[in-house]
Amino acid sequence: MRRLLEFSRRSRRAGGSPFRLNRPAGLARRRCAILVLALTSSALAGELQPTGLATTRSDLNAKDQARVTAVTRPTTDFSKPEPFELMQGGAGTSRKDVSRDSFSQSSANITFEEEGTFKLGNALFRKNWVSSPSSTQASDGLGPLFNERACQNCHLKDGRGRPPQGDTGTTSMFLRLARDASNAEEKSALADRELLNFPDPVYGTQLQELAVPGLRGEGRMRVDYQERQVTLADRTMVSLRKPSYSVTDLAYGPLDPRTTLSPRLTPPMIGLGLIEQIAPADILAHADPEDRDNDGISGKPNIVRDGLSGELTLGRFGWKAQTASIRQQAADAFAGDIGISTPEEPKHWGECTAAEAKCLAMPNGVQARLGPVEAPPPVMDLVTFYSQNLAVPARRDLAAPDVLAGKKLFYEIGCVSCHTPKFVTRRDAPDKAQAFQLIWPYSDFLLHDMGPDLADGQAVGDATGSEWRTPPLWGIGLTETVNGNSFFLHDGRARSLTEAVLWHGGEAQKARDRFAAANAAERDALVKFLESL
């Protein structure tokens, strides 16, 4: 533990200088106009008043703000790649050869000392926890109910999970369990953002299929698919699979009839530290909850209460943007997925509820000499640092004619209305590796109504049962290389990028229909562009 403490102390970075932006000619004012538009929305303004969230960037002087506005302006020239487009993760972009380890590289601009911290965090991310009591004394505390034994077992190769297939299990996709408020007190708790929703009274916030010896897992997720044929404008036939979800072999009685089931695939881990350092004002600048510009896109933020500070802040992580920070995301995963307590979530029995008395009677893994939780602060420091510094891989084939043609179509049919191409991170980021970086995540990190086909019926904070956060697209073209599959969307129902686009509805319906109306060469070009990310 002493070694962990030594490596968890972060020094100020001596290297990894921030990305230097070049000043383009003709400074654009588009982003300023978007900001004004967003702030004139009475709904959004009302939401922001109690949060204390900044609606302008305090980390930039006027000169820097002008440069940022110019460089993040959407391009209109598709004849060649944009400056710096190759390095989609800024100066930390990984330039290593494409392989199964493409999502597991450290940020290229961290120091030598921090590389050691990253490797220690990686070891903890891969560590298998065991049930208590155990002779290891530093690895026990698993469960008693859990979904997996290690973070890496869900985030396969630091990448995307997969839906269950045959006997492969569900360790990289699980079911969220939740219900809406049922009385005035519960509604008040939601309004005050003390809670995001309410768990099932017996099974808690997620279904845990596994358990330590002597205890039964809670049940099994069942997925049934129904094929649906879609005919595109050029008479190409595409088969989509529509999933339905249920739970079998429930060990502790029935679910509450009000409980909804929401499948969640584990997302890739790359670029999280950069996302964390996007200025809230820049994300809020794209919000238009009342669709005042009448473009059919009404993205909205999920304003949540930070579990660490208790302050209202912008959610930006998770499928419904329900989590504010990487550290909180890690703590939630330790508690819910593995059953390990942390200072942020001191739940020694994980997700065991009062209705699961045998679970609560099991021993936990707290070691008095190491502190009052199973994963003490040094463990959280290292896992958080590792998660913040997984590098985004460099673009590939970005100058190829078909990739450039696909990028043009991506813009023209309206994909960039939600998949915002680029941001510049905060100049005052606490870690220099993430400071003032031009990055290309292709996401606005806002909630959008995706229509009834993708709806899960589960509200999470400000997110309704049909709203999802726009997922970042960087790295999406390496999914099959890293994870050996091409399953996309929140539940992996899409088996290709074409299927993923065709499932889009709601606010994305127009873009989806334009894709379906394009000819085969145009659609192939758009897919080639996505595969280059």
Question: Do residues 75 and 166 share a domain?
Answer: no
Question: Do residues 250 and 350 share a domain?
Answer: yes
Question: Do residues 281 and 229 share a domain?
Answer: no
Count CA atoms within 13 Å of residue 344 on its CB side: 23
What is the Cα–Cα distance from 305 to 374, expressed in whole angstroms?
25
Answer yes or no: is pLDDT of 342 > 60: yes
- 464 in any annotated domain: yes
**Cβ proximity of 280 and 315 under 8 Å:** no
Question: Do residues 369 and 357 share a domain?
Answer: yes
How do residues 197-220 score in pLDDT, each as one tens digit? 999 999 999 999 999 999 999 999
Question: Do residues 179 and 323 share a domain?
Answer: yes
Strands (E), 92-236: 145-146, 173-178, 210-211, 220-231
- Residue 239's H or E segment, with its range, is strand 237-248
Residue (of 401, 440, 402) closest to 271 by Cα position? 440
How do residues 49-80 score in pLDDT, each as one tens digit? 445 687 899 999 999 999 999 999 999 999 99
Answer yes or no: is pLDDT of 181 > 70: yes
Question: Do residues 331 and 398 share a domain?
Answer: no
- 129 in any annotated domain: no
- 126 in any annotated domain: no
* Structural domains counted in the chain: 2
How do residues 14-55 score in pLDDT, each as one tens digit? 333 344 443 333 333 333 333 333 333 344 544 454 456 878
Distance of CA 220 to the CA centre of its chain: 25
Question: Do residues 367 and 321 share a domain?
Answer: yes
Distance of CA 27 to the CA centre of its chain: 32
Strands (E), 40-128: none
Which neighbouring-strand residues pair with 260? 178
DSSP letter, residue 246: E
What is the Cα–Cα distance from 126 to 346, expressed in whole angstroms?
21
- 135 in any annotated domain: no
pLDDT classification of 138: cutoffs 50, 70, 90 = confident
Mean local confidence (pLDDT), 435-441: 98
Domain hosting 175: range is 141-268+317-374
Task: Quote the crossing angle between the two packed helices 326-333 and 377-388, to the nearest 10°.
Answer: 120
pLDDT classification of 368: cutoffs 50, 70, 90 = confident
Q: Which two tokens mark 96?
A: 């290593």
How do residues 457-497 score in pLDDT, each as one tens digit? 999 999 999 999 999 999 999 999 999 999 999 999 999 99
What is the Cα–Cα distance from 480 to 496, expressed in whole angstroms?
10
Residue (of 276, 279, 291) closest to 44 by Cα position? 291
SS3 content of the chain, % helix, strand, coil (to 5): 30, 15, 55
Which neighbouring-strand residues pair with 315? 302
- 290 in any annotated domain: yes
- 380 in any annotated domain: no
Residue (of 313, 309, 334) closest to 323 by Cα position? 313
For 271, the 3-state DSSP assignment is coil
Question: Do residues 275 and 243 share a domain?
Answer: no
**Cβ proximity of 159 and 391 under 8 Å:** no
Question: Do residues 427 and 478 share a domain?
Answer: yes
